[in-house]
């Protein structure tokens, strides 16, 4: 087949960002001269007719004149973003204006070719977008750019594919058997009539979860606290909405669409239920791959997306989302990469850099604002009104604090928390609610996080932005979450030992003294029975958490821990025991018990509060582990808390603070727990961290695989292996050594044979 070239819409002096051969920005911009660069392809697909829109290239074009080609395409100019370019090209070439949620990035295609007797060298990374409309756009709606496009037509997708396969000389050639064949594969698979198979697949996914009911008694609460609880839950519902928005910009629209249509069929019912568990179209237990497609998504009507045509109501399109979850969630522009962020950060002041990498801000792009139209010109049918509403420096990134990004929602939540504070008769809860309400509006969470650590209330409340797992690019940005429970006073008094021993554990960590920080504040531990949660509580449920993550507070005051005892009991009964029954060797099943599982959970959370947090780099510069390890931090920190938790329990046993008979139960219960967490997927921090530990211990024969496929612990080797891995992780954190962290995770945080075969056997065990 002949070589392929993208439709080019550029001037000779157009500057392009030069890429390396692997697709990374080289930091240089210059006119196109055979260098690797980026471009966009935009395909418009009509769902009802199953047709793709083709454009006929203008006869004056230097390459492929007069041939049928992509709906719209063009180079990404220096400093421009991919998505903004896709939207502009569609507008300039066809006169169609669409918002960012209409564009689905389906794959990236590397094109390397030489044509025109060697005069045209094209080394291009093409971002291929698909726009899905319900029906064809009428011909008279298009406003064609004469210098680029002579005409357009719709064609059944399979017929178009046949033209390419047969090398029809009226069509720009594409290698259908190669990378570009993905376009046709995606369309074919997406619209197969397989409703029964999809229903069965979603049922199978749903059956992996064990439903439980939170029916804890509120008898221990005062009348005043019960009144406050009403306002707290109302505020929590608002924060839940914010979390949906944080995950993906189209999430709330999709949620309402699925909810509205959930009674249409069994398939629609299963879509809604599974979506409600994951709080997005991506499955937490399947490495964040989509269980829906854009064909399942919400439909929007745009009546101002092009010039007006009598009798045509406008473009109806599907809200698009990618097959794999966006690593930056909705904290960053969807087409921003790490290199762009890092280059932008270098021109910021120190305070601006702190804001950009802080917990409580999002990063936006000046040019992200939608293409807009004016009513007067819309009525006339003119297309001249279609302009890009943007400042001159349209592609600069900028910081928006949460208090501004979610201003209206946070104002409503703050008002409700103030009303809750007025209702409660508990002084520490009153302080927490007031300071948290103020933080929603000021974006300064320091005082409210201190108030949370000092909370001494029967009604236990955790509310606000905390965990950073959704930010898979850097691990900087915090999601909103809510946990409300009734404190279990007896259990809380029983676990006080662990908080009291943190300083001793810190001093004796398997870590060189030079890296050990000073005093550690005893961690308050609160055991509660959960009655309500919201926000970032999707997928598998947490059994405990250790907060805050703000390094200033960790250094000054340590951390505090909340253990959800009723959730822990449910996890042990419905998950750990069935896993142990399948995976643990018969001789060691007797060591599986709730107390060892529950105790290690507590120690895991406590160990988040010890070890390196604020560090000094070899250059002498002060930093934090989170900032240095970036997207690797969460997985390594979860692994640290787990493995150092085991080391700490052994240390406390040796000190006579825990019974020695507890030792074997601790290790065997941990082994069973490895399989529980790895099932979360290796895209998730806990699963990745657990795989690292399992594979490390298995390699050192601390875990033994038997011929019958079960595992056991070698008690003669486990102690040393645990201590060595603890030292390895703690040292990496203390040095802020991202290279070493990446190497360790690459080698061990993967689905090895023993893990994979065992996970397959656990298909019937719920999570």
Q: Is residue 243 part of a domain?
A: no
Model confidence, pTM? 0.85
Q: Is residue 173 part of a domain?
A: yes
Q: Is residue 167 part of a domain?
A: yes
Q: Is 264 helix (H, G, I), strand (E, B) or coil?
A: coil
Nearest to 409 by CA among 598, 223, 668, 234: 234
Q: Is the pLDDT score of 642 beyond 50?
A: yes
**CA atoms of 371 and 90, how far apart (whole Å):** 11
Tokens of 119: 């005069």
Express each pLDDT in 483-537 by its tens digit: 999 999 998 988 888 888 988 999 999 999 999 877 777 778 899 999 999 999 9
Q: Is residue 320 part of a domain?
A: no
- The three-state DSSP-derived secondary structure of 10-23 is CCCCCEEEEECCCC
Express each pLDDT in 532-585 by its tens digit: 999 999 999 999 998 999 988 988 888 898 999 999 999 999 999 999 999 999
Q: Is residue 468 part of a domain?
A: no
Tokens of 459: 């009604």
* Number of domains into which the chain is organized: 2
**CA atoms of 441 and 154, how far apart (whole Å):** 51
The percentage of residues in the chain with a pLDDT greater than 90, rounded to a whole number, is: 72
Q: Is residue 667 part of a domain?
A: yes
Over residues 105-133, mean pLDDT: 84
Q: For residue 696, give its domain range.
A: 567-767
Express each pLDDT in 583-610 by its tens digit: 999 999 999 999 999 999 989 988 988 9
What pLDDT was estimated at residue 767? 67
- Radius of gyration (Cα) for the chain, nearest Å? 28
Q: Choose the final residue of a domain: 145, 171, 190.
A: 190
Q: Is residue 340 part of a domain?
A: no
Q: Is the pLDDT score of 281 beyond 90?
A: yes
Task: Kindly give the interhelix angle for 427-442 and 407-423, rounded to the nearest 10 degrees.
Answer: 160
Q: Choose the final residue of a domain: 190, 220, 242.
A: 190
Q: Is residue 51 part of a domain?
A: yes
**Ranges 118-122, 245-249, 419-423, 570-574: which has the least confidence:** 118-122
**CA atoms of 250 and 244, how far apart (whole Å):** 9
Nearest to 259 by CA among 246, 244, 242: 244
Q: Choose the final residue of a domain: 144, 162, 190.
A: 190
């Amino acid at each position: 087949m002949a070589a392929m070239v993208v439709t080019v819409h550029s001037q000779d002096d157009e500057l392009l960002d030069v890429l390396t051969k692997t697709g990374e920005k080289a930091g240089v911009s210059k006119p196109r001269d055979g260098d690797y660069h980026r471009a966009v392809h935009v395909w418009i697909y009509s769902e009802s007719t199953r047709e793709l829109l083709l454009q006929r290239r203008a006869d004056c074009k230097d390459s492929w004149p007069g041939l049928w080609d992509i709906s719209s395409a063009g180079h990404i100019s220096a400093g421009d973003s991919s998505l903004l370019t896709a939207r502009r090209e569609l507008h300039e070439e066809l006169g169609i204006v669409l918002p960012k949620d209409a564009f689905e990035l389906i794959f990236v295609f590397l094109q390397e070719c030489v044509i025109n007797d060697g005069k045209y060298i094209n080394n291009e990374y093409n971002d291929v977008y698909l726009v899905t409309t319900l029906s064809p756009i009428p011909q008279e709606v298009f406003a064609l750019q004469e210098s680029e496009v002579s005409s357009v037509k719709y064609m059944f997708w399979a017929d178009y594919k046949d033209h390419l396969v047969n090398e029809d000389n009226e069509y720009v050639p594409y290698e259908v058997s190669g990378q570009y064949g993905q376009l046709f594969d995606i369309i074919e698979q997406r619209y197969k009539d397989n409703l029964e198979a999809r229903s069965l697949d979603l049922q199978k996914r749903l059956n992996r979860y064990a439903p439980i009911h939170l029916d804890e008694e509120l008898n221990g609460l005062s009348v005043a606290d019960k009144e406050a609880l009403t306002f707290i839950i109302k505020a929590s519902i608002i924060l839940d909405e914010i979390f949906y928005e944080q995950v993906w910009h189209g999430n709330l629209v999709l949620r309402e669409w699925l909810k509205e249509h959930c009674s249409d069929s069994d398939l629609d019912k299963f879509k809604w239920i599974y979506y409600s568990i994951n709080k997005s179209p991506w499955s937490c237990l399947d490495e964040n791959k989509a269980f829906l497609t854009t064909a399942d998504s919400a439909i929007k009507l745009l009546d101002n997306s092009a010039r007006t045509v009598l009798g045509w109501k406008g473009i109806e399109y599907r809200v698009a989302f990618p097959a794999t979850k966006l690593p930056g969630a909705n904290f960053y522009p969807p087409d921003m990469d790490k290199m762009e962020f890092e280059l932008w950060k270098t021109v910021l002041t120190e305070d601006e850099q702190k804001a950009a990498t802080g917990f409580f801000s999002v990063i936006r792009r000046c040019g992200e604002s939608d293409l807009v139209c004016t009513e007067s010109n819309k009525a006339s049918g003119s297309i001249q009104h279609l302009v890009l509403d943007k400042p001159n420096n349209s592609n600069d990134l900028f910081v928006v604090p949460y208090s501004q990004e979610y201003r209206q929602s946070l104002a409503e939540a703050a008002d409700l928390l103030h009303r809750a504070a007025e209702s409660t008769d508990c002084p520490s809860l009153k302080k927490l609610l007031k300071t948290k309400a103020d933080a929603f509006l000021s974006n300064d969470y320091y005082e409210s996080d201190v108030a949370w650590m000092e909370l001494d209330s029967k009604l236990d409340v955790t509310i606000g932005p905390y965990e950073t797992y959704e930010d898979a690019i850097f691990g900087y940005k915090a999601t909103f979450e809510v946990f409300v429970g009734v404190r279990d006073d007896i259990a809380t008094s029983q676990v006080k030992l662990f908080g009291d021993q943190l300083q001793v554990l810190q001093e004796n960590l398997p870590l060189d003294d030079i890296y050990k920080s000073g005093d550690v504040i005893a961690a308050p531990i609160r055991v509660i029975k959960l009655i309500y949660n919201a926000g970032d509580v999707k997928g598998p449920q947490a059994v405990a958490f250790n907060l805050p993550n703000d390094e200033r507070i960790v250094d000054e005051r340590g951390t505090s821990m909340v253990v959800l005892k009723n959730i822990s009991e449910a996890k042990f009964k419905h998950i750990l025991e069935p896993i142990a029954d399948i995976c643990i060797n018969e001789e060691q099943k007797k060591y599986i018990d709730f107390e060892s599982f529950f105790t290690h959970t507590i120690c895991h959370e406590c160990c988040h509060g010890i070890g390196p947090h604020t560090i000094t780099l070899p250059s002498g510069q002060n930093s934090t582990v989170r900032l240095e390890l970036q997207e690797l931090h969460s997985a390594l920190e979860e692994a640290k808390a787990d493995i150092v938790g085991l080391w700490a329990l052994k240390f406390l046993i040796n000190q006579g603070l825990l019974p020695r008979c507890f030792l074997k139960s601790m290790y065997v219960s941990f082994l069973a727990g490895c399989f529980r967490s790895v099932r979360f997927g290796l895209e998730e921090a806990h699963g990745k961290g657990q795989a690292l530990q399992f594979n490390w211990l298995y390699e050192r024969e601390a875990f033994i695989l038997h011929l019958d496929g079960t595992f056991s612990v070698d008690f003669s080797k486990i102690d040393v292996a645990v201590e060595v891995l603890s030292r390895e992780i703690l040292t990496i954190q203390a040095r802020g050594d991202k290279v070493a962290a990446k190497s360790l995770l690459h080698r061990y945080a993967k689905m090895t044979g023993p893990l994979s075969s065992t996970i397959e056997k656990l298909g019937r065990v719920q999570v």
